[in-house]
């Protein structure tokens, strides 16, 4: 590492700490009411010793909401426009703008759709195999198409789970063959096996951990082995392959019936609430999905809300104990119920839920710790620090360094599947997504990788970066140049002590090396915890 960057990195340790750091009127009213209920329930869970963190400054909030909704940091133009916006409800207005992603808004066109396609793909393929790996781009394309139409979460799950099958190599759409956009990866990742799909769908869409009951009755959990296989029987309408080492099935069992593995006992499909299905000529998966996505289902809406809450706060609102029962403060359980009912009442509109969450004080609080009670993330008295997903990190680097993917580099998973791929593909291959976003292990590895990465070295060079080249020759004060770099990299203006340190560093380099010194300062910012974390 160049001596200038070692010196700049030393300055960064001292100075780059985390800073205290179109709808109808009825829906707007509902959003505000639900945001207020979130804050009331969260506050009710606190004891006398809890002191909430203050509301985050505009710059901190704006960076956070960009990472969460658009999957990237804001551009310097966006952050300047937001900071200069004097409308009292500008936070809500800009959230709406990002969520809309209108075609005439080049800044946010499809940004939310593309990012949440990444989010849902990562959740659906938390466990994958080589076959599913090749289908990841097709799954993301399918998700983008569905999200762009504004489909409700219930319909998204319905369409995912009831696609017609074309053997075990893909999913056929009604009236057509396998296409570029396909949810096949989800079925391939679960090997088309009823037991695998039972475990995955129960965890993802019902918030229930059934896997432990697959082979035996768990000594603590409430779910029995028989219940697991009764639920798995809903996936018997899929084409089956013999399990390794198992004899070929002489005669398949009727749909909706399955033999418990390792036994001769056959069980019939039954819902997890204990009720039996009324088939009425429908297929097994369709019958399951009708029950699963019903507004009256005790699991579906709560599981979706809990997952979305964990996305925004790094931890679930209500967890599950070993017995399978909900655990957490009573007020949090009541809030989960309230959010689930509102979600179902608004036709499982994820954007409605996002608007309410981001409008709450709980979401808008600063992440800076200013009281001992802030150490407990589950109290939601401050915004927890969260590790960025690989997509968020690379796309934020691209915004900060003005990098654009080469023409034709449309498949971000080339490197994942063994090819070389673009810098983005290589980065995604290096850091697969993590489920626990408050686990910093991946973030630490990312930081080490970035510090020694040729791509970052090149993008922070005055020869390759237009912003750095412009700043190096601009007839303005060094302090203004440092301010510009802070807005570009960290979406905020520097504090006085930060500006003073870096101004001294750049000025000491001499006029001939101003560009290089600015590049070193920029490199430090991009490798700082403030850039690498969502806060």
Q: SS3 string of 375-425?
A: HCHHHCCCCCCEECCHHHHHHHHHHHHCCCCCCCCCCCCCCCCCCCCCHHH
Give the pLDDT of residue 163: 86
Average pLDDT over residues 457-474: 91
- Tokens representing 12 are 């960064």
Give the pLDDT of residue 409: 56
Give the pLDDT of residue 7: 53
Window from 78-87, 125-134, 149-158, 454-463 with minimum mean pLDDT: 125-134
Looking at the predicted structure, is the pLDDT value of residue 44 above 70? yes
| Spatial distance between the Cα atoms of 113 and 101, rounded to a whole number of angstroms | 8
Window from 40-49, 243-252, 357-366 with minimum mean pLDDT: 243-252
Please give the mean pLDDT across all residues of the chain. 84
Average pLDDT over residues 179-204: 90
Integer angstrom CA distances of residue 243 from 249, 259, 448: 10, 13, 42
- Tokens representing 18 are 């985390």
Select from 456, 351, 312, 350 the least CA-distant residue to 393.
Answer: 456
| Spatial distance between the Cα atoms of 108 and 476, rounded to a whole number of angstroms | 31
Give the residue with greater pLDDT, 238 vs 511: 238
Select from 407, 404, 384 the least CA-distant residue to 394.
Answer: 404
Give the pLDDT of residue 492: 97
| Spatial distance between the Cα atoms of 376 and 382, rounded to a whole number of angstroms | 9
| Spatial distance between the Cα atoms of 410 and 324, rounded to a whole number of angstroms | 42
The answer, as to whether pTM is greater than 0.85, is yes
Could you tell me the pLDDT band of residue 220, with boundaries at 50, 70 and 90? Answer: low
Average pLDDT over residues 344-349: 96
* Residue in the block written with tokens 């809030």: 335
CB atoms within 10 A of CB 457: 17
Give the pLDDT of residue 419: 54
- Tokens representing 398 are 């691209």
What are the sequence ranges of the domains in the chain? Answer: 3-17+387-534, 25-113+301-311+329-375, 128-142+149-292
Could you tell me the pLDDT band of residue 178, with boundaries at 50, 70 and 90? Answer: very low
| Spatial distance between the Cα atoms of 105 and 98, rounded to a whole number of angstroms | 9
Q: Is-contact 382 20, C-beta < 8 A?
A: no
Could you tell me the pLDDT band of residue 407, with boundaries at 50, 70 and 90? Answer: low
| Spatial distance between the Cα atoms of 43 and 47, rounded to a whole number of angstroms | 9
**Burial of 38: CB neighbours in 10 Å, binned 0-12, 13-18, 19+:** buried
Looking at the predicted structure, is the pLDDT value of residue 442 above 80? no
Residues in a beta bridge with 327? 319
Average pLDDT over residues 77-95: 96
Highest mean pLDDT range out of 27-31, 174-178, 511-515?
27-31
Which residues are CB-contacts of 348 (< 8 A; sequence separation ≥ 6)? Answer: 152, 153, 154, 155, 293, 301, 304
pLDDT digits (tens, 9 = 90+) for 237-293: 887 655 555 544 545 667 789 999 888 999 999 999 999 998 877 789 999 999 999
Average pLDDT over residues 155-160: 97
Give the pLDDT of residue 169: 42
């Amino acid at each position: 590492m160049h001596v200038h960057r070692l010196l700049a990195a030393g300055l960064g340790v001292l100075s780059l700490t985390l800073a205290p750091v179109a709808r109808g009127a009825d829906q707007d009213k509902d959003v505000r009411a639900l945001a207020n209920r979130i804050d009331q329930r969260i506050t009710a869970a606190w004891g006398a010793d809890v002191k909430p963190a203050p509301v985050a400054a505009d710059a901190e909030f704006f960076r956070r909401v960009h990472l969460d909704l658009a999957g990237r940091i804001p551009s310097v133009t966006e952050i300047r426009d937001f900071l200069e916006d004097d409308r009292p409800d500008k936070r809500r207005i800009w959230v709406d703008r990002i969520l809309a992603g209108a075609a005439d808004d080049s800044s946010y066109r499809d940004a939310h759709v593309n990012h949440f396609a990444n989010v849902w793909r990562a959740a659906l393929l938390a466990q994958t195999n080589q076959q599913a790996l090749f289908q990841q781009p097709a799954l993301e394309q399918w998700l983008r198409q569905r999200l762009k139409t504004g489909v409700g979460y219930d319909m998204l799950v319905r369409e995912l789970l009831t696609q017609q099958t074309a053997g075990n190599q893909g999913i056929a759409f009604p009236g057509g063959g396998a296409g570029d956009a396909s949810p096949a990866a989800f079925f391939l990742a679960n090997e088309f096996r009823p037991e695998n799909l039972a475990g995955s769908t129960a965890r993802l869409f019902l918030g229930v951990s059934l896997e432990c009951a697959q082979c035996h009755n768990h000594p603590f959990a409430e779910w029995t082995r028989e219940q697991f296989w009764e639920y798995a029987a809903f996936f018997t309408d899929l084409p089956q392959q013999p399990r390794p080492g198992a004899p070929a099935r002489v005669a398949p069992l009727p749909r909706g019936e399955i033999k418990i593995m390792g036994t001769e006992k056959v069980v019939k499909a039954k819902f997890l609430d204990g009720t039996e299905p009324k088939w009425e000529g429908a297929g097994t998966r369709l019958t399951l999905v009708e029950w699963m996505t019903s507004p009256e289902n005790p699991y579906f809406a709560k599981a979706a809300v809990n997952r979305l809450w964990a996305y925004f706060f790094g931890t679930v609102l209500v967890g599950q104990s070993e017995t399978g029962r909900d655990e957490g403060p009573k007020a949090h359980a009541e809030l989960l119920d309230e959010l689930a009912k509102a979600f179902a009442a608004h036709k499982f509109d994820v954007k409605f839920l996002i608007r309410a969450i981001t409008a709450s004080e709980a979401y808008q609080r600063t992440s800076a710790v200013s009281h001992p009670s802030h150490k407990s993330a589950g109290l939601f008295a401050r915004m927890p620090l969260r590790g960025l997903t690989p997509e968020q990190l690379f796309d934020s680097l691209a915004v900060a360094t003005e990098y654009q993917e080469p023409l034709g580099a449309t498949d971000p998973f080339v490197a994942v599947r063994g090819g070389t791929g673009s810098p983005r593909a290589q980065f995604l291959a290096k850091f697969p997504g993590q489920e626990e976003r408050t686990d910093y292990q991946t973030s630490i590895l990312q930081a080490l990788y970035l510090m020694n990465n040729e791509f970052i070295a090149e993008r922070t060079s005055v020869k390759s970066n237009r912003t750095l080249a412009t700043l190096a020759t601009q007839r303005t004060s060094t302090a203004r140049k440092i301010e510009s770099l802070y807005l570009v990299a960290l979406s905020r203006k520097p504090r006085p002590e930060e500006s003073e340190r870096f101004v001294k560093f750049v000025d000491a380099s001499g006029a001939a090396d101003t560009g290089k010194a600015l590049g070193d300062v920029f490199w430090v910012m991009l490798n700082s915890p403030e850039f690498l974390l969502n806060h």
